[in-house]
C-alpha cells in the first residue's frame, strides 16, 4: 500500500515546482512534459498534445468495460505574483493565481495511488486540460477527438475554495457554476472641442447613460426567479482632456444559469443600446459572445460524490453548497457529452482566487488525491 505521508511530501514538491514555472493557456509545454513524465513513471499509457498541450493518461485494471474520467486544469494567469515565497513564479507577469498547480498535483497523486494500490476494475482516464481560464481548452480537447480516442462514461473535477476550511467538501446537484457571456458595445458619433459640445455628437454622455441603463436588465427585465449578473468592466474613449470623444467602447460580461436567461440578456442589451444611442443621436454596435456554458451537475453522481467523500472528510465536513456560484468553469463543456460532478475542496484562509498574493494550500493536496481515488473505486468496484 502507498505510504500516504511519503506521497504527500512528493506532492508538495511537485506542486511547488509547478508553481515556480507557470504557463498561460496553450503554452503549458513544460507543465505537460512534467505531467507526462510522472504518468509514465507510474506505469500509465500516455497521450500528449491532445487539444494542443493537453495530456491524457489511461490506467486499466481487470476486465471491467466502464470508464471514469478525472480532470484537472494546468494553466496559469497573466498576473504578476507578489509576496516572497521561496517557490514564487520565475516567469514575470504569470502566476498560478487560481490553484491549477494544486489541481494538477492532486490528479497526479491520485494516478500514483490508483496505479500502485488498484482497488478498482475498469478504465480511468486522467485528463490534464490546458487553457481553462479563457474557456478554450476543453473545446480544444473535444475537437481533437477526446471522446472518440479516450471514451469514458462519466467525469469528475474539483476546484479549491479559499475561505472553506481545509478538509471540507462541498457540491450541489443541478446548476453549480454560471455561464459567462462577453459583450462589447461601440458607440460612434462626432467628437470635437470640449468648449463646443453642440457642434458635434459626442459619445461620452451616451456611454455613461448606457452604462447606467444596462443595470436595468437584471433589476427590471429579468424575472426575479432567475439569477443574472450584468457587469460593465471597461469604458474606453478616443477623447482627451479638452476634446470630446467621437467613439466609445463599453466592455463587460454577463452571468446566468440557463440559456434562456442568456438569450434574454442579449436581447435586452441590444434594445437598450439602440434606444440609448438614438436618444443621443449616435450609433451603437453590439457584439455578444458566449465564452462559458453553465456547469450543471448530474444529481445521481452528486450523491455518489457525497458517498465517496464522507469516509474521507467526515460526515460533518461534507455538505451541500447552499447556492450556485456566479463564477464559470470550462469543465462544463465535458458535461454536454457525459454526466459528471464538479466539487469544491477547502483551501483554508488563503488570499482570494486571481489575487497576486494567492497560493494553493499544500495541506489540501492529499484530500484531493484521496477523493479522486475514492470516486474511482466507488464507481468502478472490483468484482
Task: Give the span between the Cα atoms of 189 and 262, in whole angstroms.
Answer: 29
DSSP codes joined into one string, 185-228: EEEE-B-EETT-GGGSB-SHHHHHHHHHHHTHIIIIIS-TTS-E
pLDDT average, residue stretch 141-165: 98
100 is in an annotated binding site: yes
CA angle, residues 59, 101, 92, in degrees to nearest 5: 140
Q: Residue 58 to residues 44, 127, 138: CA-CA distances in angstroms?
A: 6, 9, 18
Residues 229-243: tens digit of each pLDDT: 999 999 999 999 999
pLDDT average, residue stretch 325-333: 96
Let me know: does 187 contact 206? Beta carbons within 8 Å.
Answer: yes
CB atoms within 10 A of CB 289: 11
Task: Give the span between the Cα atoms of 70 and 81, in whole angstroms.
Answer: 29
Q: How confident is the model at residue 380 (pLDDT cuts 50, 70, 90)?
A: very high
pLDDT average, residue stretch 358-381: 98
pLDDT average, residue stretch 255-284: 97
159 is in an annotated binding site: yes
Q: Residue 286 to residues 72, 231, 257, 267: CA-CA distances in angstroms?
A: 35, 15, 22, 10
Let me know: does 214 contact 228? Beta carbons within 8 Å.
Answer: no
Task: Give the span between the Cα atoms of 2 and 10, in whole angstroms.
Answer: 12
pLDDT at 122 over 90: yes
Q: How confident is the model at residue 108 (pLDDT cuts 50, 70, 90)?
A: very high
133 is in an annotated binding site: yes
Please report the pLDDT score of residue 311 as a whole number.
98
Q: Residue 28 to residues 34, 45, 52, 86, 361: CA-CA distances in angstroms?
A: 10, 20, 9, 22, 22
Task: Give the span between the Cα atoms of 294 and 140, in whole angstroms.
Answer: 18
Residues 54-72: tens digit of each pLDDT: 999 999 999 999 999 999 9
341 is in an annotated binding site: no
pLDDT average, residue stretch 203-229: 97
Task: Give the span between the Cα atoms of 41 and 307, in whole angstroms.
Answer: 31
Task: Give the span between the Cα atoms of 156 and 304, in whole angstroms.
Answer: 11
Quick check: do 4-176+295-379 and 179-292 share a fold? no
Show Cβ contacts of residue 317 under 8 Å, excluding neighbours closer than 6 positions.
165, 167, 168, 169
Please report the pLDDT score of residue 220 as a whole number.
95
Residues 135-145: tens digit of each pLDDT: 999 999 999 99
Please report the pLDDT score of residue 383 as a whole number.
84
Radius of gyration of the chain (CA): 24
**Mapping DSSP to helix (H, G, I), strand (E, B) and coil, where does residue 143 land?**
helix
- What is the signed CA dihedral for 134, 137, 138, 139, rounded to 10 degrees? 90
Q: What is the mean pLDDT of the chain?
A: 97
CATH placement of domain 179-292: 3.30.70.360
- Backbone φ and ψ for 200, nearest 5 degrees, come out as -140, -165
CATH 3.40.630.10 fits 4-176+295-379, yes or no: yes
Domain coordinates of the chain in residue numbers? 4-176+295-379, 179-292
169-171, strands of its sheet edge to edge? 45-50, 54-61, 122-129, 67-73, 154-161, 340-346, 169-171, 318-320
What element of type H or E holds 285? strand 283-292
pLDDT average, residue stretch 129-137: 97
Q: How confident is the model at residue 276 (pLDDT cuts 50, 70, 90)?
A: very high
**Mapping DSSP to helix (H, G, I), strand (E, B) and coil, where does residue 9 land?**
helix
Please report the pLDDT score of residue 353 as a whole number.
98
Amino acid at each position: 500500500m502507498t505510504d500516504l505521508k511519503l506521497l504527500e511530501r512528493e506532492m508538495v514538491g511537485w506542486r511547488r515546482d509547478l508553481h515556480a514555472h507557470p504557463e498561460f493557456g496553450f503554452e503549458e509545454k513544460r507543465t505537460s512534459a512534467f505531467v507526462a513524465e510522472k504518468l509514465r513513471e507510474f506505469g500509465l499509457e500516455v497521450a500528449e498534445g491532445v487539444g494542443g498541450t493537453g495530456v491524457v493518461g489511461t490506467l486499466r485494471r481487470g476486465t471491467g468495460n466502464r470508464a471514469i474520467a478525472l480532470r484537472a486544469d494546468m494553466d496559469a494567469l497573466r498576473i504578476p505574483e507578489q509576496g516572497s515565497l521561496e517557490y514564487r513564479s520565475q516567469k514575470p507577469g504569470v502566476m498560478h493565481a487560481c490553484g491549477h498547480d494544486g489541481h494538477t498535483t492532486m490528479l497526479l497523486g491520485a494516478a500514483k495511488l490508483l496505479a500502485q494500490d488498484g482497488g478498482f476494475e475498469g478504465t480511468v482516464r486522467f485528463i490534464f486540460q490546458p487553457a481553462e481560464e479563457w474557456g478554450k481548452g476543453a473545446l480544444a480537447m473535444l475537437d481533437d477527438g477526446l471522446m472518440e480516442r479516450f471514451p469514458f462514461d462519466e467525469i469528475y473535477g474539483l476546484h479549491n475554495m479559499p475561505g472553506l476550511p481545509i478538509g471540507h467538501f462541498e457540491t450541489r446537484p443541478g446548476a453549480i457554476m454560471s455561464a459567462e457571456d462577453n459583450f462589447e458595445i461601440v458607440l460612434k458619433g462626432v467628437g470635437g472641442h470640449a468648449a463646443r459640445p453642440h457642434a458635434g455628437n459626442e459619445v461620452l454622455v451616451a456611454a455613461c447613460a448606457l452604462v447606467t441603463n444596462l443595470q436595468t436588465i437584471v433589476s427590471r427585465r429579468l424575472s426575479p426567479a432567475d439569477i443574472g449578473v450584468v457587469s460593465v468592466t471597461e469604458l474606453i474613449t478616443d477623447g482627451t482632456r479638452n476634446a470630446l470623444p467621437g467613439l466609445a467602447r463599453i466592455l463587460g460580461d454577463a452571468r446566468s444559469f440557463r440559456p434562456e436567461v442568456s438569450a434574454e440578456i442579449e436581447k435586452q442589451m441590444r434594445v437598450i443600446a439602440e434606444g440609448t444611442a438614438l436618444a443621443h443621436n449616435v450609433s451603437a454596435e453590439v457584439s455578444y459572445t458566449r465564452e462559458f456554458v453553465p456547469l450543471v451537475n448530474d444529481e445521481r453522481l452528486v450523491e455518489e460524490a457525497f458517498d465517496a467523500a464522507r469516509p474521507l472528510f467526515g460526515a460533518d465536513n461534507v455538505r451541500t453548497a447552499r447556492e450556485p456560484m456566479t463564477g464559470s468553469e470550462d469543465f462544463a463543456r465535458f458535461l454536454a457529452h457525459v454526466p459528471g460532478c464538479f466539487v469544491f475542496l477547502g483551501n483554508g484562509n488563503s488570499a482570494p482566487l486571481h489575487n497576486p498574493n494567492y497560493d494553493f494550500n499544500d495541506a489540501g493536496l492529499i484530500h484531493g488525491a484521496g477523493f479522486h481515488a475514492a470516486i474511482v473505486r466507488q464507481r468502478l468496484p472490483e468484482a
